[in-house]
Structure 1
């Protein structure tokens, strides 16, 4: 069975590839050299923020080429809830690709990093941050990094910033609630002012 993937490089050239599990092929050109150390990191990258930038910078420093897998909307919803993601796959992909540390993205990356995928893209190292939405995998689901862990090519990186999409959403909600309360208080104050105001007749 073949899974269609779209790979987008840092020059914004888009190529649709058929990712065949039985017929591995190299990363599409333009891409890394034959001896390049390719680092792979994946995720939702929803509401792209400073925490994402810092972990991508850290990952890029571990190799010659950074390949970023971006999960589909369906995959994100299945693992984070029906109200996620906030941004759709296209928006999230463009946000990640705009980051200077990213060389290429895989739009619609598989949830699990398989051996065939590692071979297909010639991945040298798979990384994941300590601060992430997906660190507590749903009950009954296998660790998506089980294969790279068994191959000894997995590394968990200490996230430079303690920021997630959830903390950003909570901040937005909190600020919105404070804004509403401030406006309600202002409206009530104005209402009392006009109710207590005494108008002097000119007659």
Structure 2
């Protein structure tokens, strides 16, 4: 039965079927699927037995092929939906009937479920591939059940399903030529989902305590409740410390980045200052050029001193040197020049 074996995902092929195959009865696409009547199908259309070859050709033309798929469908997931998609698309014109086992039967033969039977029934009515849902479906399909619901074929994966003392509960369906195989999707199943929850049990309990569930609702004792709340506080503290560390790292990184920028700018300014200094005061710098030009100008403006006995000593230069204001004149000469002329009476 589809969905009965939680340990292996209920599977369907990944590809999408053509539009004409995916489009079932208009009502199943626009509103939830109907629940089957306990009395079975009340259609007055003749229900002749079909072969798989006839069904694949799209016959009979006066009615769809009625395909049945059953299971537990606990924690309805994509593996379930893909299996039902295959069952819906197995023939060109298919009416898909899905049987869901009750809680009482499932707990007796399979095990405890997470969802109640009403929740599982309702989940199936909202699957787009389902046309009709049979509540309290039987574990083993009887001939009377198949006739009552006018079932043409039964869809399930081809792996033998051992249950209720039988090596394969679908053995008689296969022998009657009424079985069509679907494929299973690996990596997703109800058991896988439950295993994830059990594996991370403490995390989910702490999450629900934080969301307002009581320890009693979660079936958690007083000591475990205190332990979980303490773990929550420790995790919050760790998160705070981690946040502070991240901010500190970011701050240090910013400081280092700024320091590198400042050092880089300082190096650039230093090189610029040294270059300007050398350009001004270096051997070929502007300062030496200015000094050299200034020296040349001073030499050009100042007179040259002539050596003694030089032919260039003209009488004019000599007279200038003997002038009363010349510093080279002797003191007696200077005084004679500076003394007044004798009066006539003294002559």
- Give your verdict on TM over 0.5: yes
Gaps of 5+ in 1: 1-8, 20-24, 191-203
The C-alpha deviation readout for 1:2-60, integer Å capped at 9, x for no partner, is xxxxxxx94455564235xxxxx5469xxxx9521111100000111111111111111
Conserved? CA contact 2:35–2:134, under 8 Å = no
Question: Cα distance, 1:120 vs. partner?
Answer: 2.0
Query: Which of 13, 38, 60 pairs up with 1:17?
Result: 38
In the alignment, does 2:167 pair up with 1:167? no
How many matched pairs?
Answer: 170
Query: Which of 108, 128, 132 pairs up with 1:78?
Result: 108
Conserved? CA contact 1:39–1:123, under 8 Å = yes
Looking at structure 2, the residues matched to 174 and 182 of structure 1 have their Cα atoms a distance apart, in angstroms, of 16
Conserved? CA contact 1:115–1:148, under 8 Å = no
1:143 corresponds to which residue?
168
| Structure with the higher helix share, 1 or 2 | 2
Conserved? CA contact 2:74–2:115, under 8 Å = yes
Looking at structure 2, the residues matched to 119 and 185 of structure 1 have their Cα atoms a distance apart, in angstroms, of 59
Looking at structure 1, the residues matched to 67 and 174 of structure 2 have their Cα atoms a distance apart, in angstroms, of 14
Question: Cα distance, 1:157 vs. partner?
Answer: 1.5
Conserved? CA contact 2:161–2:168, under 8 Å = no
Gaps of 5+ in 2: 1-26, 45-60, 207-226, 238-347
After superposing the two structures, state which structure 1 stretch, 178-187 or 109-118, moved more.
Answer: 178-187
Looking at structure 1, the residues matched to 169 and 62 of structure 2 have their Cα atoms a distance apart, in angstroms, of 27
1:35 corresponds to which residue?
63
Query: Which of 72, 96, 106 pairs up with 2:124?
Result: 96
TM-score, with structure 2 as normaliser: 0.43
In the alignment, does 2:87 pair up with 1:87? no
Looking at structure 1, the residues matched to 83 and 101 of structure 2 have their Cα atoms a distance apart, in angstroms, of 17
| Structure with the higher strand share, 1 or 2 | 1
1:3 corresponds to which residue?
none
Query: Which of 97, 114, 118 pairs up with 1:67?
Result: 97
Q: Give the 3 Å change call, closer, same or farther, for CA 121–130 of structure 1 in structure 2.
A: same
Q: Give the 3 Å change call, closer, same or farther, for CA 16–124 of structure 1 in structure 2.
A: closer
Looking at structure 1, the residues matched to 43 and 76 of structure 2 have their Cα atoms a distance apart, in angstroms, of 25
Q: Give the 3 Å change call, closer, same or farther, for CA 38–162 of structure 1 in structure 2.
A: farther
Conserved? CA contact 1:45–1:70, under 8 Å = yes
Larger Rg: 2
The RMSD of aligned alpha carbons is 3.2
Question: Cα distance, 1:146 vs. partner?
Answer: 2.9
TM-score, with structure 1 as normaliser: 0.69
Secondary structure in 1 matching 2:39: strand
Secondary structure in 1 matching 2:64: coil
